[in-house]
């Protein structure tokens, strides 16, 4: 938890209520959620070195505390297969970000592996004005956007709640595997839900969480993107 | 805001068992709130009732006072039915009189918009400064059958019972109360909570959770003011007494209607659903379903699981019922081999040897046959509850016309029916398996004998298969919730 309070402190001191992607992923990694490894590269040289280390294909995303909608800023490039593609992507991301957000502080790019595709899951948390922290589970992509196929529970949850909320969604059959697609490993998803619930219970400073997507595989699950919004600090 | 202080036992006592009540705005004009409230309060002689009306010397034969402050004795409870602009004035007078609790019937506050909200906040402020706890405003009243107190204005003695009703709408409160009363259900307390400027749904829930007279809590909710507190309380209470809730605001239009109604915040409905599920609260769709579930909870054990046995007088009703059950995620239980052998003895050889069991036409006169079949199903370990679709109770008109029975013979027939129903009741108790009968309704107002028969035998009765299946789904769910949370 120490690690987490440090991250939150730093954001607070910088007057930020949104953690960077790398910070958010550090938080989830530190509570034992399987998270795709994402490192910060502040130069092109660092970016290519990280790619050498973690392998291809790679994903580059703009790393800036001031840019939260990275895709809109032309700040995300996926499926980069070699150093040349990484170089080109790096240049384009920087140019686009500087053009669209001229005043943004840019730390560099977040470099990560291209995750093996799995069943897209979304896990989130928000604070309801009546009931306080609420955890959400759903299928990602069009299922959450169009069909709003999500389930909720109040935090804290126990294992039974997590299992129920997974079974409750209309698309549950998709998680059990269909047409030869591999099923989702339910215990891994239950585990993430419980860990998020614990995290929120112990960290009242967190206002919102988005793990979107989480890829579910037949034997595990992997958080691919992560977002944490903090409560507005009341000035002392 | 207000409401920080938890409600004391003294406040509840003044509210539900006051020794003296002032009706401020009491009236001699029939049909007015001030007249109704007086009439209801005069039901019992055990309590001092003081009408307050500056323009009359007497109200309903009681000496009237110009102001609550003119009443010579102590006043525990004030019922306020004056125009909304006068309510703050009157409430201040109550404070100086030392009144302990109030019910504000007057409407025209937070539900009407900003000026009303301000007026309502003023009431809360006056009361909290003056140490008065109150129901409302915009309440239709409250009632306690143990102390025979009613500010709703109903006349007559109220039978004591085990069901409490809480409603954020006075009309829904009375609708639920009347519906259940016609099914022979009696109440411990019922409260139209109104705008909840002081006492809130959560306060009443906490109180009823501890109330020994109350075994089941039914609530009509539009929006909560402290959802988290409701959740915590419900979680604790449902472990020992069921809470059944109908909540409006599930659709966009209903949410808007609710907003303009009590001014409560209708929170995201999905979050309410989650909170209810997680705290063991049975959420139903509407007030009819609420009454069905309350009636069943009151009269029946909880089914162990979801496997239904259907015993039907004919193929059609059995098929309808099976379909309704499957839609509600109930399982049509597979009969044990032993049961099939037992049934072979009583049924024609062409019976299909599976559930639903089609009796293929014994007449109602042959209860002995129906009984043997029913006992066999109740004893089947693959079945958790039974739907009985047979006219083992017949209304007077049928008995007279089709069976040509004289009034004396009808009476004798009724006695036989009652004995049969009590036999079923015994089996239900012994095996802890609910039996559900289908009937046009539970009260069957054309034939009061039947209504009282249902009341006495305490068999679950539902108007149709869909409603019956829905009720059993709720009971199964509640049992499974209890088993999972209490680790049974």
pLDDT (tens digit per residue) in B75-98: 999 999 999 999 999 999 999 999
Classify A227 as helix, strand or coil: strand
Look up the CATH superfamily of B301-485: Succinyl-CoA synthetase domains (3.40.50.261)
Residues in B whose CB is inside 8 Å of some CB of A read: 223-228, 231, 265, 267-268, 270-275, 277-278, 484
What ipTM is given for this predicted complex? Answer: 0.88
What was the pLDDT predicted at B60? 94
Cβ atoms within 10 A of the Cβ of A43, count? 11
Question: Does an H or E element contain B412, and which?
Answer: helix B407-431
Cross-chain Cβ contact B271/A151 below 8 Å: no
For residues B257 and B249, give the distance between their C-alpha atoms in angstroms, rounded to a whole number. 8
Q: Residue B79 is inside which H or E element, if any?
A: strand B77-80
CB B71 within 8 A of CB B94: no
Domain residues of chain B, as ranges? 1-137, 159-299, 301-485
Task: Find the residue in A nearest to B269 (Cα).
Answer: A152
Residues of B with Cβ-Cβ distance to A129 under 8 angstroms: 265, 267
Residues whose CB is less than 8 angstroms from the CB of residue A235 and which lie 6 or more positions away in sequence, other chains included: none
Pairing relationship of beta strands A119-128 and A108-113 according to DSSP bridges: unpaired
- Residues of A whose CB is below 8 A from B227: 128, 130-132
pLDDT at B17 over 50: yes
Rounded CA separation A83/A58 (Å): 10
- Indicate the residue of B275, B277, B484 with minimum beta-carbon distance to A131: B275
Give A148 to chain B, closest Cα distance, Å: 11
Nearest chain A alpha carbon to B268? A128
Contacts of A157 in chain B (CB under 8 A): 278
Superfamily of domain A41-111 in CATH is ATP-grasp fold, A domain (3.30.1490.20)
Closest chain A residue by Cα to residue B226: A130
**% of residues, chain A, pLDDT over 70:** 97
Picking from A138, A147, A154, A160 by the largest number of B CB atoms within 10 A of its own CB, the best residue to mutate is A154
DSSP state of B118: H
Give pLDDT tens digits for A161-203: 999 999 999 899 999 988 788 899 999 999 999 999 999 999 9
Token pair 């954020």 is found at B168
Cα–Cα dist B295/B409, whole Å = 31
Report the candidate in A121, A117, A119 with the shortest Cα–Cα distance to residue A196. A121
Q: What distance in Å separates residue A159's CA from the closest CA in chain B? A: 11
Residue B397 has what pLDDT? 81
The average pLDDT across B177-198 equals: 95
Q: pLDDT band at residue B162, thresholds of 50, 70 and 90?
A: very high
> CB under 8 Å to A38, separation ≥6 — which residues?
A21, A22, A25, A110, A111, A112
CB atoms under 10 Å from CB of A71, counted, come to: 9
Position B283 scores a pLDDT of 97
What is the rounded distance in angstroms from the CA atom of residue B404 to the CA atom of residue A179?
65
* Topology of the domain comprising B1-137: Rossmann fold (3.40.50)
Q: Tens digits of per-residue pLDDT, A20-45?
A: 999 999 999 999 999 999 999 999 99
3-state class of A129 per DSSP? coil
C-alpha–C-alpha distance, residues B411 and B389, integer Å: 23
What kind of architecture, by CATH, is found in domain A119-230?
2-Layer Sandwich (3.30)
| Chain A nearest C-alpha distance from B486 (Å) | 13
- pLDDT at residue A140 tops 80: yes
Contact A144, A122 (CB under 8 A): yes
Q: Which residues pair with residue B50 across a beta bridge?
A: B22
Confidence class for position B365, pLDDT limits 50, 70, 90: low
Size of interface A-B (CB pairs under 8 A): 45
Instruction: Inform me whether the pLDDT recorded for B220 exceeds 50.
Output: yes
Helix (H, G, I), strand (E, B) or coil at B445: coil
Rounded Cα distance, B219 and B288, in Å: 13
Contact assignment for B273 to A152 by CB distance below 8 Å: yes
Locate tokens 């009819």: which residue?
B288
CA distance B391 to B399: 12
Q: Looking at residue A234, what is its pLDDT?
A: 63
Residues B26-46 pLDDT 10s: 999 999 999 999 999 998 888
pLDDT tops 90 at residue B458 = no
Whether A134 and B267 lie within 8 Å, measured CB to CB: no
Q: Closest Cα of chain A to B110: distance in Å? A: 19
Q: Which of A127, A130, A150, A204 to mutate to test the interface with B (most CBs of B within 10 A)?
A: A130
Taking the CB of residue A188, how many other CB atoms lie within 10 A of it? Answer: 20
In the block, tokens 């099976």 appear at B322
Whether residue B321 has pLDDT greater than 90 = yes
Closest of B187, B148, B146, B151 to residue B170, by C-alpha:
B151
The contacts of residue A210 (CB under 8 Å, 6+ apart) are A122, A124, A225, A226, A227, A228
| Closest chain A residue to B487, measured at CA | A160
Q: Which two tokens stand for residue B173?
A: 């409160």
Distance to chain A for B303, nearest Cα, Å: 21
**Number of residues assigned to chain A:** 236
pLDDT tens digits, one per residue of B417-452? 999 999 999 999 999 999 999 876 676 666 778 888
Domain ranges of chain A: 41-111, 119-230
Contact A131 B267 (CB under 8 A): yes
Mean per-residue pLDDT of chain A? 91
**CATH fold of B159-299, please?**
Rossmann fold (3.40.50)
pLDDT at residue B253 in the model = 62
Do the Cβ atoms of A129 and B231 come within 8 Å?
Answer: no
Interface contact flag, A152 B271, Cβ < 8 Å: yes
Cβ proximity of B193 and B133 under 8 Å:
no
Question: What residues in B contact A167, CB-CB < 8 Å?
Answer: none
């Amino acid at each position: 938890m120490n690690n987490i309070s440090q991250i939150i402190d730093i954001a607070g001191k910088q007057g930020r209520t949104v953690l960077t992607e790398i910070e958010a992923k550090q938080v989830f990694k530190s509570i034992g959620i399987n998270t795709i490894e994402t490192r910060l590269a502040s130069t092109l040289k660092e970016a290519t070195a990280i790619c050498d280390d973690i392998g291809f294909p790679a994903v580059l995303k703009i790393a800036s505390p001031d840019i939260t909608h990275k895709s809109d800023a032309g700040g995300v490039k996926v499926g980069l297969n070699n150093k040349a593609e990484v170089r080109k992507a790096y240049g384009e991301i920087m140019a686009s970000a500087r053009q669209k957000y001229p005043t943004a502080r840019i730390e560099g790019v977040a470099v990560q592996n291209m995750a093996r595709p799995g069943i897209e899951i979304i896990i989130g948390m928000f604070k309801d004005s009546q009931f306080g922290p609420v955890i959400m589970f759903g299928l990602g992509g069009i299922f959450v956007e169009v069909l709003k196929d999500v389930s909720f529970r109040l935090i804290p949850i126990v294992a039974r709640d997590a299992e129920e909320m997974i079974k409750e969604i209309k698309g549950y059959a998709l998680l059990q595997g269909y047409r030869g697609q591999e099923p989702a490993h339910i215990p891994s998803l239950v585990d993430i839900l419980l860990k998020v619930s614990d995290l929120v219970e112990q960290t009242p400073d967190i206002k919102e969480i988005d793990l979107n997507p989480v890829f579910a595989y037949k034997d595990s699950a992997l958080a691919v993107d992560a977002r944490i919004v903090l409560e507005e600090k009341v000035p002392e | 805001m207000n409401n920080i202080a938890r409600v004391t036992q003294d406040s509840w006592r003044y509210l539900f068992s006051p020794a003296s009540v002032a009706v401020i705005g009491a009236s001699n004009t029939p049909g007015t709130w001030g007249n109704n409230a007086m009439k209801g309060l005069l039901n019992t002689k055990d309590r001092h009732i003081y009408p307050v009306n500056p323009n009359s010397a007497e109200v309903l034969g009681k000496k009237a006072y110009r102001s609550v402050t003119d009443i010579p004795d102590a006043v525990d409870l004030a019922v306020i039915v004056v125009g909304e602009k006068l309510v703050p004035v009157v409430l201040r007078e109550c404070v100086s009189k030392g009144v302990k609790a109030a019910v504000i019937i007057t409407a025209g506050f937070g539900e009407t918009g900003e000026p009303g909200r301000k007026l309502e906040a003023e009431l809360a402020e006056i009361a909290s400064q003056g140490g008065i706890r109150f129901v409302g405003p915009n309440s239709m009243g409250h009632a306690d059958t143990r102390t025979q107190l009613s500010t709703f204005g109903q006349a007559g003695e109220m039978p004591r019972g085990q069901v409490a009703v809480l409603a954020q709408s006075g009309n829904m409160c009375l609708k639920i109360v009347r519906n259940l009363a016609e099914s022979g259900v009696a109440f411990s307390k019922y409260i139209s909570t109104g705008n909840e400027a002081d006492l809130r749904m959560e306060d009443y829930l906490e109180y009823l959770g501890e109330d020994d007279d109350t075994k089941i809590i039914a609530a009509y909710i539009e929006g909560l003011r402290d959802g988290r507190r409701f959740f915590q309380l419900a979680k604790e209470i449902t472990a020992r007494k069921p809470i059944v809730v109908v909540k409006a605001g599930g659709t966009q239009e209903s949410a808007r209607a609710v907003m303009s109604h009590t001014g409560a915040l209708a929170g995201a409905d999905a979050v309410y659903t989650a909170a209810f599920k997680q705290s063991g609260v049975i959420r139903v769709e509407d007030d009819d379903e609420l009454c069905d579930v309350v009636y069943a909870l009151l009269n029946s054990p909880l089914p162990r699981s979801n496997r239904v046995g259907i015993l039907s007088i004919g193929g059609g009703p059995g098929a309808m019922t099976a379909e309704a059950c499957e839609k509600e995620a109930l399982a049509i239980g597979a009969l044990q081999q032993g049961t099939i052998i037992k049934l072979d003895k009583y049924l024609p050889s062409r019976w299909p040897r599976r559930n639903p069991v089609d009796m293929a036409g014994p007449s109602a006169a042959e209860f002995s046959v129906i009984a043997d079949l029913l006992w066999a199903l109740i004893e089947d370990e693959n079945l958790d509850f039974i739907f009985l679709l047979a006219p083992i109770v017949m209304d007077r008109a049928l008995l007279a016309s089709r069976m040509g029975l004289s009034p004396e013979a009808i009476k004798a027939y009724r006695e036989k029916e009652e004995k049969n129903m009590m036999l079923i009741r015994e089996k239900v108790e012994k095996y802890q398996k609910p039996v559900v009968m289908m009937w046009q309704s539970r009260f069957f107002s054309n034939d009061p004998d039947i209504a009282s028969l249902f009341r006495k035998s305490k068999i679950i009765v539902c108007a149709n298969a869909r409603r019956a299946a829905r009720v059993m789904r709720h009971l199964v769910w509640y049992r499974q919730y209890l088993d999972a949370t209490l680790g049974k």
